[in-house]
Chain A
Amino acid sequence: MDIKEYFSLVFSDYTLRTITLGTAILGAICGMLGSFAVLRKQSLLGDAISHAALPGIALAFIITGTKDTNLLLIGALVSGLIGTFWIRGMITKTHLKSDTALGLILSLFFGFGMLLLTYIQKQPNANQAGLDKYLFGQAATLIEKDVTLMAIVTGICLVVLLLFWKEFKILLFDADYTKTLGFNTRFIDILITFFIVLAIVLGLQTVGVVLMSAMLLAPAAAARQWTNKLSVMIVLAAIFGAFSGVFGTAISASQNNLSTGPVIVLVAAVFVLFSFIFSPGRGILFKQIRFWQNRRDLKLQKTLQFMFDIAKTHEDISHPHAIKILNNFQGFTKGSLKKMEEKNWVALQGQKWSLTQDGYNAAKNLYTQE
């Protein structure tokens, strides 16, 4: 199957449609909530939470003995939340820095989860195979029930986001100030964190413990490049996330044996790379172009300033002068003189130049703004 075939099948083939829809919704919710994580400088929180979810999955299996996705994900949710609150507790109660707390919880929970997984594999239970899919995810196992759950959670998340938009925004920008206004910042904080944990848990089946944080961060990091408005950033991150999901699924479905989760993450990374280079405001390409432009403009402006200093000593500002005298001025080239003529700053006549009224005004206002 090639990509074209995939897109013709996606509307008719039930399995393909379910998986595509699932990864798209997942990408969208992760992009939205990831924006919050990025702006709060808690990028690594997602990584810690997803790893912290692993022992929950294993324990849920050991206790119930079934592989029902919802039960396992409830286990993941509980252990993800426990991990999150331990991290918060460590940061506020001890004087450990947040990266230390995140790293500790991440490796501790992940290690414990791996231990439980190997324990389960040694059990004489025919049912045990396949739990390791939560490590790297397996989008192919998505069924309609899972996608419905994702859609419901995303819907609730959207409603909460719209209701508490103002509270989320101010907390992200200035938490201390928010407190002085009388808002319960702990409640807002827990609300945001809870939804981040929820989104991560929903993504475990598709993308897996190890790569989940990229789903949160990549769309948000890409979106930040294109806008200076929070609302636009969140919408863009959701769109980037959804497209990563769809394209990732398309590529992995059209190439045999390519695991979906990693492909989705790679597609998201392409969005990031593209945004870092090509976004007009913050991208490195346009930054470099602006730098070159400024340097060129400065050269012209210096020449103009030099001419202005000569011209203003005459009553008639357009009094012609020999081009030769410009040679006294370092940095003058024939090219820049030509460009100045194009800008209608100077008039050239044989071996003489004269300042135009436009050029005079431009020079006069050159360094007076701001």
Chain B
Amino acid sequence: MDNKIYIICGHYGSGKSEFAVNFAKKLKQENLDVVLADIDIVNPYFRSREIRLSLESLGIDVISDTLNSVKGLDMPYLSPAIRGQINRKDRTIVLDCGGDAVGCRVLRQFSEDIKKRDYAMYMIINVFRPETSTIEDILFMKDKLESESTLKITGLINNSNFIKQTTIEDLIYADTIIKEVSKRANLPVVYVSGLKSLIKKLPEDISGTPFELELHLRSNWL
């Protein structure tokens, strides 16, 4: 993969941050110089900045706010370093957005800079979230994410799950919906993501490249 900007967006609670963290680790394993920007200023829980220290120990830079907070800061502002990183063509940047259109609004200030680079904007979808459970709802959400960010979504990610209770049948059912979204929106299903135990058992005809997730933000006991 080349150095580019990956934007991870979607409905809130769809699993954006867990995916973004796993994706940043995968890019790092491909020997890219990776920076993860947590630009979620909507919600102060379960954000990727919470594991900044462990990501930094893997060589992944993490930026969010100027105080380099890990947990607990409830202030809607971003580090100015984010714009600088977006313009660093020698680095790969993963932008972990806040949920819904309001989470994507943050992107608008960077959109002209982002458009100058090769970027991918992935919409994370969990069809078991009540507000993205139908084809129409997902397409509506996609339009909102695009209009708020002034950027175009380039791919879909089937991250449908009930966390540890997810079954293969759940992912196959989700695939039927997301396949139709893919057709209507003319967008590829880039990945189908889930816990390792599940991803190993996926049927071959499911859309998207299988992507194994390790849960980093959710404690084992939860």
Q: Do A and B bind each other?
A: no
B: which residues have CB within 8 A of A?
A: none
